[in-house]
Amino acid sequence: MPPFGLLHMRAWASLFGQLLRPRRAVFIREVAEAVLTSQLKPHQEKSHFVIKTPKGTRDLSPQQMVVREKILDMVIGCFKRHGAKRIDTPAFELKETLTEKYGEDSGLIYDLKDQGGELLSLRYDLTVPFARYLAMNKVKKMKRYHVGKVWRRESPTIVQGRYREFCQCDFDIAGQFDPMIPDAECLKIMCEILSGLELGDFIIKVNDRRILDGMFAVCGVPESKFHAICSSIDKLDKTSWKDVRHEMVVKKGLAPEVADRIGDYVQCHGGVSLIEQMFQDPRLCQNKQAREGLGDLKLLFEYLTLFGIAEKISFDLSLARGLDYYTGVIYEAVLLQTPAQAEESSNVGSVAAGGRYDGLVGMFDPKGYKVPCVGLSIGVERIFSIVEQRMKTFGQKIRTTETQVFVATPQKNFLHERLKLIAELWDAGIKAELLYKNNPKLLTQLHYCEDMGIPLVVIIGEQEMKEGIIKLRLVASREEVAIKRENLVAEIQKRLSES
């Protein structure tokens, strides 16, 4: 697998082009529909139990896996390009490891049944396990990536690509460094991945928890309500200001005039000039935290300009991020849809997000020793939905195997010869298949190759064996060439390396 640089990423489309054959997209759609139907319409019979995957989860078919793996390969390729190491952690953690990390979302954690022994919960993200890993192993500095499933008991709205089990790809930089250099790299990585996947135009919203806290303070929000109000603000990408204001005032007991002051701020978004403008804001600038946040954002934009990605970034005062553990810069990438796209598909929401969390590792350390961290998470599931949708639209067919050679015969009672030959191919590292029948028809065998996109067929028969030759059929052109039996493996390897 070659490394995917931005230039190499251009090859992405043609790479897909090789995998996809413009045939019926029917199969993919059928499988997808079968999965959806079985999830949405439980069996009517009560006698026999229902065969389905749990609510909010799904199987991935071979077609889906090919797309998934291509996306993961590209994401992981980018993480490696930036020098990250990979780790893995268990699917479940001690329940108390996850306690008090997720604010209002804590209710969405899956707990395991108490079967004696420790109380356990399925991991909710890859960030808290990473912080636990750092504290447990007393690691002070690390750039790591982690690809794995996480579980959240959300009301699943499957059409939008939201599931209760989903895959996350996280990249994080832990350690005490000079300000904003790792943070800028995280944004660069998000840009590389989103450009590389060719999902269309996108923008990354950036804000800072300290600016939010400063804003809350100068607007008159009591400090005890900062987290709760932050959670409300976080809903602004899905909910109108009117509804968010209502929640803040009615449910969370905020004074209406305080809410309105917040309302003025959260409408602001722009580039570096907005940072300057906020520095001029007499109210906000009284606040030390806000000033620090604004200063860091200014430095961040300096670095983003050097990375050539400043025009992709928008300073957005409405960005809040729901999770409790963020302490500094936060960001979220959203795809910009054309009006036509926006009409046919519902809002896909953010496809990548992250931020700085300098206090999380300290929550696990017995002495409260802090390890500053900043990172990002790629929402593979949503990206996957988009790519899958696009493939359906274009009616592309995917090769789900990599078989290079098929071993066929027109002859009856030739199983032994086929088995001997295919073992020779396997032992030479050639990807090969045959039909598991004593006497398959030649036409059935050739159809299988055309169906599966297998490029080469080796055909053995009695006459050829006597002559010490073997026939090699090129499936695409249906051309057949005779080869000396002893040269077969070399000839196949030569043809495969040329194609």
Contact positions with a copy of itself (CB under 8 A) in 275-334: 303, 306-308
Name residues contacting a copy of itself, limited to 367-386 (CB under 8 A): none
Name residues contacting a copy of itself, limited to 110-129 (CB under 8 A): 110-115, 117-118, 120, 122
- The Cα–Cα gap between 183 and 175 comes to 12
Query: Rounded to the nearest whole angstrom, what is the least distance from the CB of residue 372 to a copy of itself in the complex?
Result: 11
Query: Rounded to the nearest whole angstrom, what is the least distance from the CB of residue 333 to a copy of itself in the complex?
Result: 17
User: Any contact of residue 198 with a copy of itself (CB under 8 A)?
Assistant: no
- Identify the residue among 22, 426, 485, 490 touching a copy of itself (CB under 8 A): 426
Q: Cα angle at 321 between 318 and 322, to 5 degrees? A: 125
Using alpha carbons, select from 389, 5, 1, 391 the residue that is nearest to residue 195. Answer: 5
Name residues contacting a copy of itself, limited to 30-49 (CB under 8 A): 31, 34-35, 38, 43, 45, 48-49
User: Any contact of residue 85 with a copy of itself (CB under 8 A)?
Assistant: yes
Do 355 and 326 meet the contact criterion of CB atoms below 8 Å apart?
yes
Six-digit token string for 26: 């029917």
Q: Residue 227 CB: number of other CB atoms within 10 A? A: 14
Three-state SS at 265: helix
Name residues contacting a copy of itself, limited to 145-164 (CB under 8 A): 149, 151, 153
**Which lies closer to a copy of itself via its Cβ, residue 133 or residue 265?**
133
- The Cα–Cα gap between 490 and 476 comes to 21
Do 266 and 200 meet the contact criterion of CB atoms below 8 Å apart?
no
For 138: left if phi > 0, alpha if psi spans -120 to 50, otherwise beta; the answer is left
- Identify the residue among 20, 97, 98, 456 touching a copy of itself (CB under 8 A): 97
Do 127 and 377 meet the contact criterion of CB atoms below 8 Å apart?
yes
User: Any contact of residue 13 with a copy of itself (CB under 8 A)?
Assistant: no
- Identify the residue among 20, 70, 75, 92 touching a copy of itself (CB under 8 A): 92
* HSE-CB for 412 with a 13 A CA cutoff: 0
Alpha carbon distance, N-terminus to C-terminus of the chain: 16
Six-digit token string for 468: 């010490």
**Which lies closer to a copy of itself via its Cβ, residue 55 or residue 370?**
55
- Identify the residue among 27, 29, 106, 165 touching a copy of itself (CB under 8 A): 165
Tell me whether residue 320 is exposed, middle or buried, using C-beta atoms within 10 angstroms of its C-beta: 0 to 12, 13 to 18, 19 or more: buried
Q: Residue 219 CB: number of other CB atoms within 10 A? A: 21
User: Any contact of residue 490 with a copy of itself (CB under 8 A)?
Assistant: no
- Identify the residue among 61, 350, 396, 411 touching a copy of itself (CB under 8 A): 61
Question: H-helix or E-strand containing 432?
Answer: strand 432-433
Do 275 and 304 meet the contact criterion of CB atoms below 8 Å apart?
no
Query: Rounded to the nearest whole angstrom, what is the least distance from the CB of residue 344 to a copy of itself in the complex?
Result: 27
Name residues contacting a copy of itself, limited to 434-463 (CB under 8 A): 436-438
User: Any contact of residue 394 with a copy of itself (CB under 8 A)?
Assistant: no
- Identify the residue among 135, 187, 190, 197 touching a copy of itself (CB under 8 A): 135
User: Any contact of residue 182 with a copy of itself (CB under 8 A)?
Assistant: yes
User: Any contact of residue 21 with a copy of itself (CB under 8 A)?
Assistant: no
- Listed in sequence order, the residues at least 6 apart from 287 whose beta carbon sits closer than 8 Å to its beta carbon are 214, 215, 217, 218
Name residues contacting a copy of itself, limited to 333-352 (CB under 8 A): none
Of the candidate spans 250-258, 379-387, 426-434, 458-466, the one that interacts with a copy of itself by CB under 8 A turns out to be 426-434
User: Any contact of residue 106 with a copy of itself (CB under 8 A)?
Assistant: no
Of the candidate spans 184-192, 336-344, 386-394, 460-468, the one that interacts with a copy of itself by CB under 8 A turns out to be 184-192
Do 55 and 422 meet the contact criterion of CB atoms below 8 Å apart?
no
Query: Rounded to the nearest whole angstrom, what is the least distance from the CB of residue 366 to a copy of itself in the complex?
Result: 5
Of the candidate spans 20-28, 77-85, 206-214, 253-261, the one that interacts with a copy of itself by CB under 8 A turns out to be 77-85
- Identify the residue among 423, 476, 482, 490 touching a copy of itself (CB under 8 A): 423
Query: Rounded to the nearest whole angstrom, what is the least distance from the CB of residue 300 to a copy of itself in the complex?
Result: 12
Six-digit token string for 486: 């002893």
Rg (CA), the chain: 28
User: Any contact of residue 203 with a copy of itself (CB under 8 A)?
Assistant: no
**Which lies closer to a copy of itself via its Cβ, residue 136 or residue 250?**
136
Do 268 and 205 meet the contact criterion of CB atoms below 8 Å apart?
no
Do 318 and 233 meet the contact criterion of CB atoms below 8 Å apart?
yes
